[in-house]
Amino acid sequence: MATLGNPTNTIAVLQKYQFTFQKKYGQNFLIDTHILEKIIRESGITENDLVLEIGPGIGTMTQYLAENAREVVAVEIDKNLIPILNDTLSAYDNVTVLNEDILKVDVFKIAEERNQGKPIKVVANLPYYITTPIIMGLFESHVPLESITIMVQKEVADRMQVGPGTKDYGALSLAVQYYAKPEIVANVPPGCFMPRPKVGSAVIKLSRYENPPVSVKNEAFLFALIRASFNQRRKTLVNGLANGDLNITKEQIIEALDKMKLPPAIRGEALTLEQFAKLSNILYS
């Protein structure tokens, strides 16, 4: 099977199977070999690795992964792609395709059974409509994970990487940076996909920390605090938190901010992860 990462071969496969794109599944297939090679390089996969691919599509990147990893598990929701994948991946005996919804797959079990519980690597050109639940699901379930190298919407990649004082900074930035070191490794224009998406894309590598960079008494409380702080962006932190369902009063928040030498009118978007961690430790009881 010739490499699929170009328009001619992709069109040939799509025509052979009379495949029609399903918009609801965020199907934009990669047709650029340079980008594919770059993703493989940046993901740092070796012949010792178990790689989880989310949404293999017609198997374009899966072929590269199979060439470089020990084993690949590829989870694809669209049943119409399964016969295509059986064909395009027939030369590889180290790939397992699961016809499932990634949000319902027990990734922990896959790591346990196929990688003796050792950290796996995730590599994917993600369906953009569920980027955040996929990433947060992987982190929050504490699946043994070394890194996640993914194609996402450019704007979402920016949100994951920035710090306080920028318009893109928010709950996603803090959640990602609690678990991993983010690094945008490539910007990818719409012309590298078929069909072309309406937005620009970027490849971001999230390298999982062994231990989070801050320590908190209760992780769930930290994230509830962060979410409440950004729910009402234009409000001060005090009003945002007091209006949430965290059961804390304005007075308690002002007192906590005072302990941290922060002004009572400060907004959530001005706080670093360290400051959110400190605030959560003061308020958690």
- Name the residue number minimizing CB distance to ligand SAM: 55
To ligand SAM, the closest distance from the beta carbon of 64 in angstroms equals 10
To ligand SAM, the closest distance from the beta carbon of 123 in angstroms equals 9
What is the radius of gyration, based on Cα positions, of the chain? 21
- 197's enclosing H/E stretch is none
Is 182 near ligand SAM (CB under 6 A)?
A: no
Binding mask of the shown chain, residues 59 to 98, with x at each position contacting ligand SAM by CB under 6 A: -xx-------------xxxx--x-----------------
To ligand SAM, the closest distance from the beta carbon of 151 in angstroms equals 7
To ligand SAM, the closest distance from the beta carbon of 78 in angstroms equals 4
Q: Give the Cα separation of 146 and 206 in Å (integer).
A: 9
Of the candidates 19, 57, 237, 279, which one interacts with ligand SAM according to CB under 6 A?
57
- Which of positions 111-150 make contact with ligand SAM (CB under 6 A)? 125, 127, 130
Q: Give the Cα separation of 140 and 137 in Å (integer).
A: 5
**Among 48, 87, 39, 54, residue whose Cα is nearest residue 71:** 48
What number of residues does the chain have? 285
- Reading the block at residue 266, the tokens are 């400060």
**Among 194, 186, 183, residue whose Cα is nearest residue 160:** 183
Q: Give the Cα separation of 113 and 111 in Å (integer).
A: 6
Is 30 near ligand SAM (CB under 6 A)?
A: yes
Of the candidates 56, 182, 240, 268, which one interacts with ligand SAM according to CB under 6 A?
56
- 128's enclosing H/E stretch is none
Is 37 near ligand SAM (CB under 6 A)?
A: no
Decide: helix, strand or coil at residue 105.
coil
Is 101 near ligand SAM (CB under 6 A)?
A: yes
Residues lying near ligand SAM in the complex (CB under 6 A) are found at 25-30, 54-57, 60-61, 75-78, 81, 101-103, 125, 127, 130
